[in-house]
């Protein structure tokens, strides 16, 4: 619902002049005008005495948004508490993925509970059986679950869109992704930690991305408050080994000497597409307006951060096997059919870490 | 996202045979098959030793869903706690709506904080000014905010779809809608209370609708767990005054006597479209399969219950003025653009009462 919330917040920062040159902002402005006229028309049809009372209700409603903000802060605290409860499971996952720990037979027992599904899968298994045996014959014992996180990156659209061929060998060294919540007395935020085993690309063992959140109604527009939202993010410096930085590429350029007319070749470093640009996001600053492209890039970045936190980290194995992917796709289809904003069952949204 | 969750749960209750005759269920079955084959293909390409470890991760994931269920129970508790904090504001709203309390001038002060909006609205106000004056001249002092809830019913699509002309005079007597959460030791549920002033239609002062929820992962399909969902609902008996029941209509029918060939007119009571059928929902029972129509009706009912709880009750005045309607519509548009399931800002969803 709200991935465009960022957009709309940014739009508020645009001046009317700028808005006129920006189709998206123009549409948002139109919405505002429609909104005002709709609201105005109802309010204006009311006798003064009734209009007064409606304004009193609107003031009560503003009070409500402040209670709501407190509620969301408590939910954030609950999330912190639960993050400690999930952690032992996530640690175990990391140890199994890296091969540090070999799970017991009991821990590996898995039965498809749906008998019909099992039957359906049986056929496929038979077909795959030959393949499996040859692999066993090769007898190169794999350690842990090779390419666990890379497989997830490849299969989740939002991530594979960013993934470049040169990123893949690096992401093979990714061993864990964690989310850390801000403490009770800090401004609300969460940090994604990408833990790497020692590798030939960079010296960092952890790459971080902090997402700063806001859970306060906007004084200018209190009724748009719908809970915490991401307002900014911060990456980290990657200490690339010499010649290994995939976020830049070297291009050669002929340069003519103006006077003499002789040419020489110079090399120049330019930005290169890479997932690792995730750690060098666009900076939001109050003095600088973002252009439409940057706005879009940042909105996508916030969405990805949210998706790591809400879906990928808590249920990584289901993205690895593809089970969660099917769910997401089904949900997407369902979205189109949905009427209004209501949902009968709860979204995980921010409420799961 | 999840309004179809109910559907999908119901689909699980259908037999394969029934599913084959039901296009929606067939699609769900196809999804399941796709899901299995996708998951099977990845799993089958893995060496046995790795597959074992992935199964261990899946078992950890099942543990996660149980922690998640506990988390949602605590969120429900938080909602109960906050419902007490909102209540004084809602009580004040009710008193202003009914005219029991006249708000002070200070309480009624409302300034559009957006200066440009104010300017835009100014024109409209001027146009409406004449209308307003004539109303004042009529000098029939309105009590409270007349037709407050009825106006909301008229303007929210989901409700106006149910609203019949004969419901409107009854709903003019609706004075408040409340949500009551189940206590900590009770099965999770919420009750919608519709409070009416004394009226000529029925003797009840409160009509109730209970929505029963489930916040437990399904043992058969733990990974589909996404938080609490509505699983059943219960209405209440309406004690209609004689001849006032709008949920039935009397039709006249000619009946021929088989032997004699003489005809007589009999009258018969048949169900009639009305919002008040909301208090007589379809019963879910484990032994009885629902047909497709009933399934759809029930899914819509759950959605409406959820919408009352999440949106209408907490922000009624914004539906009255139309401000919330614009938001909902914008959000709907945005849904289409959205990629995947991620949201940057939180939905109110179940987390607001």
Q: What is the ipTM of this complex?
A: 0.77
Which parts of chain B fold into alpha helices (H)? 3-13, 16-20, 23-44, 48-98, 115-138, 148-155, 157-160, 168-171, 292-307, 316-321, 323-337
pLDDT reported for residue B284: 82
φ, ψ for residue B24, nearest 5 deg: -65, -45
pLDDT digits (tens, 9 = 90+) for A315-325: 999 999 999 88
CA distances from B87 to A67, B82, B308, B331, B342 (A): 11, 9, 16, 28, 32
pLDDT, average across residues A155-182: 96
**B62 near B177, Cβ under 8 Å?**
no
**A223 near B323, Cβ under 8 Å?**
yes
pLDDT reported for residue B36: 52
d(CA A83, CA B287): 41
For residue B214, the 8-state DSSP code is E
Burial A172-207 (b: 16+ CB within 10 A, else e): bbbbbbbbebbeeeeebbbbbbbbbeebebbebeeb
pLDDT digits (tens, 9 = 90+) for A45-103: 899 999 999 999 999 999 999 999 999 999 999 999 999 999 999 999 999 999 999 99
pLDDT reported for residue A176: 97
pLDDT digits (tens, 9 = 90+) for B75-101: 999 999 999 999 999 999 999 999 999
**B133 near A82, Cβ under 8 Å?**
no
> Between chains, do B108 and A52 touch, taking CB under 8 Å as contact?
yes
Contacts of A272 (CB under 8 A, 6+ apart): A164, A246, A247, A248, A249
For residue B345, the 8-state DSSP code is B
> Between chains, do B55 and A110 touch, taking CB under 8 Å as contact?
yes
d(CA A175, CA A62): 46
Higher pLDDT, B335 or A308: A308
Q: Would you say the C-alpha torsion B55, B60, B63, B69 has a positive or negative sign?
A: negative
> Which of A40, A307, A347 comes nearest B226 by C-beta?
A347
3-state secondary structure of A213: strand
> Between chains, do B108 and A55 touch, taking CB under 8 Å as contact?
yes
Which parts of B1-47 fold into alpha helices (H)? 3-13, 16-20, 23-44
Residues from chain B contacting residue A189 (CB–CB below 8 Å) = none
pLDDT, average across residues A107-127: 62
pLDDT reported for residue B214: 93
pLDDT reported for residue B28: 60
Virtual CA dihedral for B267, B269, B275, B281, nearest 10 degrees? -170
> Between chains, do B344 and A56 touch, taking CB under 8 Å as contact?
no
Residues from chain B contacting residue A321 (CB–CB below 8 Å) = 39, 42-43, 54, 58
> Between chains, do B107 and A56 touch, taking CB under 8 Å as contact?
yes
Interaxial angle between packed helices B48-98 and A48-98, expressed in degrees from 0 to 180 and rounded to the nearest 10: 170
**A211 near B333, Cβ under 8 Å?**
no
Distance from CA of A269 to the nearest CA of B (A): 33
| Res. B327 pLDDT band, cuts 50 70 90 | low
Residues from chain A contacting residue B231 (CB–CB below 8 Å) = none
Q: Which of A353, A278, A337, A322 is nearest to A157 (CA)?
A: A322
d(CA B195, CA A278): 53
pLDDT, average across residues B32-49: 69
d(CA B101, CA B80): 27
Residues from chain A contacting residue B79 (CB–CB below 8 Å) = 71
Residue of A nearest to B126 (CA): A44
CA distances from A214 to A55, A70, B66, B252 (A): 27, 12, 29, 63
Residue B260 has pLDDT above 60, yes or no: yes
Contacts of A44 (CB under 8 A, 6+ apart): B124, B125, B128, B131, B132
Side-chain half-sphere of B39: how many Cα atoms within 13 Å? 25
Mean model confidence pLDDT for chain B: 81
CB-neighbour burial class of residue B293 (10 A; exposed 0-12, middle 13-18, buried 19+): exposed
d(CA A82, CA A351): 10
> Between chains, do A340 and B117 touch, taking CB under 8 Å as contact?
no
Interaxial angle between packed helices A23-44 and A3-13, expressed in degrees from 0 to 180 and rounded to the nearest 10: 90
Higher pLDDT, B191 or A29: B191
Among residues 311-350 of chain B, which lie with CB inside 8 Å of chain A?
A: 311, 314-318, 320-328, 330-332, 334-350
- Long-range Cβ contacts of B163-171 (<8 Å, 24+ apart): B163/B275, B164/B246, B164/B272, B164/B273, B164/B274, B164/B275, B166/B246, B166/B274, B167/B246, B167/B274, B167/B275, B167/B276, B169/B201, B170/B199, B170/B201, B170/B246, B170/B276, B171/B275
The full length of chain A comes to: 353
Residues from chain B contacting residue A154 (CB–CB below 8 Å) = none
A39 touches chain B (CB under 8 A): yes
d(CA B225, CA A346): 10
Q: Would you say the C-alpha torsion B302, B303, B305, B306 has a positive or negative sign?
A: positive
Q: What separation, in Å, do the N-terminal and C-terminal C-alpha atoms of chain B show?
A: 19
pLDDT reported for residue A144: 95
Distance from CA of B96 to the nearest CA of A (A): 7
Among residues 54-113 of chain A, which lie with CB inside 8 Å of chain B?
A: 54-61, 63-64, 67-68, 70-72, 74-75, 78-79, 82, 85-86, 89, 92-93, 96-97, 102-103, 107-110, 113
Distance from CA of A199 to the nearest CA of B (A): 23
Q: What separation, in Å, do the N-terminal and C-terminal C-alpha atoms of chain A show?
A: 19
pLDDT reported for residue A286: 76
pLDDT digits (tens, 9 = 90+) for A212-268: 999 999 988 999 999 999 999 999 999 999 999 999 999 988 887 777 778 888 889
Interaxial angle between packed helices B3-13 and B23-44, expressed in degrees from 0 to 180 and rounded to the nearest 10: 90
* Neighbour tally for B106: CB within 10 Å: 8
Residue B317 has pLDDT above 60, yes or no: yes
pLDDT, average across residues B30-43: 59
């Amino acid at each position: 619902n709200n991935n465009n919330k960022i957009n709309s917040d940014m739009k508020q920062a645009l001046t009317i002049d700028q808005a006129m040159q920006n189709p998206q902002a123009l549409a948002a402005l139109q919405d505002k005008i429609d909104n005002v006229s709709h609201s105005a028309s109802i309010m204006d049809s009311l006798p003064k005495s009734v209009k007064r009372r409606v304004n009193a209700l609107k003031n009560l409603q503003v009070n409500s948004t402040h209670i709501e903000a407190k509620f969301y802060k408590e939910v954030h605290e609950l999330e912190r508490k639960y993050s400690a409860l999930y952690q032992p499971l996530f640690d175990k996952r990391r140890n199994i993925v890296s091969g540090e720990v070999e799970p017991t037979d009991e821990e590996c027992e898995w039965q498809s509970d749906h008998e019909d599904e099992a039957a359906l899968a049986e056929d496929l298994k038979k077909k795959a059986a030959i393949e499996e045996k040859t692999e066993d014959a090769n007898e190169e014992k794999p350690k842990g679950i090779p390419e666990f996180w890379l497989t997830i990156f490849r299969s989740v659209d939002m991530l594979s869109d960013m993934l470049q061929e040169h990123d893949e060998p690096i992401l093979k060294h990714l061993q864990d992704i964690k989310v850390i919540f801000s403490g009770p007395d800090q401004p609300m935020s969460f940090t994604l930690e990408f833990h790497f085993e020692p590798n030939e690309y960079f010296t960092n063992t952890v790459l971080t991305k902090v997402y700063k959140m806001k859970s306060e109604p906007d004084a200018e527009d209190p009724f748009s408050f719908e809970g915490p939202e991401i307002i900014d993010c911060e990456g980290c410096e990657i200490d690339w080994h010499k010649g290994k930085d995939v976020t830049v590429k070297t291009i050669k350029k002929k340069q003519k000497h103006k006077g003499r007319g002789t040419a020489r070749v110079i090399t120049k470093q330019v930005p290169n597409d890479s997932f690792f640009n995730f750690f060098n996001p666009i900076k939001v600053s109050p003095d600088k307006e973002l252009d439409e492209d940057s706005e879009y890039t940042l909105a996508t970045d916030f969405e990805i951060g949210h998706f790591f936190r809400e879906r990928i980290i808590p249920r990584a194995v289901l993205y690895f096997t593809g089970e969660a992917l099917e769910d997401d796709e089904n949900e997407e289809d369902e979205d189109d059919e949905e009427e209004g904003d209501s949902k009968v069952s709860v979204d995980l949204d921010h409420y799961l870490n």
